[in-house]
Amino acid sequence: MAVNCYPPCPSPELALGLPPHSDYSCITVVLQSTPGLEIFDPRDGTWKTAPDTRGALQVHIGDHVEVLSNGTYKSVVHRAALNSRKTRISIASLHSLGMDEKMGVAKELVGGDEGKERYRESSFRDFLDSLSKNDIGTQGYKSFIDTLRIEK
Ligand SMILES: O=C(O)CCC(=O)C(=O)O
Ligand SMILES: [Fe+2]
């Protein structure tokens, strides 16, 4: 679980609370105190603000569902915007397998043919190792899902 605290920012149009990323998880459940969660819409290349419905939980899928489904479902790219008025708190609960359990492509989808797998398997520990070498938001950052893709 991640608890994020974003203080007010005098120039919110010049900064981001969290840069664009997808979560390593299967699903992520987010509770936000005030709007700020933005979702990238690949259909038109724009960012959409998640609706401000008091007490609502935002649920999105992460990299491990993209891997499990062999790319049928894409992980959701999102970011956190800032505002100049009030501190924003978000609580993100990320759900997937245990630290050393590997998530791979569902065998049922590829009929046991490893040649059809479009992603390498990975665990939460692999994600943490990748993050420590390749921090989100830094120059040349490669997203975790990109490191899992098998080039055909
Ligand atoms: O603050 C938010 O709304 C997003 C948090 C988030 O994306 C994360 O913790 O992974
Ligand atoms: Fe996230």
Q: What is the pTM of this model?
A: 0.93
Per-residue pLDDT of the chain (152 residues; tens, 9 = 90+): 999 999 999 999 999 999 999 999 999 999 999 999 999 999 999 999 999 898 899 999 999 999 999 999 999 999 999 999 999 999 999 999 999 999 999 999 998 787 899 999 999 999 999 988 887 767 777 899 999 999 87
Inter-residue contact 24 to 144 (CB < 8 Å): yes
Helix (H, G, I), strand (E, B) or coil at 132: helix
The CA 106 to ligand 2 mean position distance, Å, reads 24
* Beta carbon of 62 within 6 Å of any ligand 1 atom: no
The answer to whether the complex's ipTM is over 0.90 is: yes
Pick from 4, 60, 89, 94 the residue to mutate for probing ligand 1's pocket: most ligand atoms within 8 Å of its CB. 4
Nearest by Cα to 123 from 92, 147, 100? 100
Q: Could you tell me where the DSSP H helices lie in the chain?
A: 63-68, 107-110, 124-133, 144-148
* Beta carbon of 30 within 6 Å of any ligand 1 atom: yes
Q: Give the separation between CA 87 and CA 84, rounded to whole angstroms.
A: 9
Inter-residue contact 76 to 22 (CB < 8 Å): yes
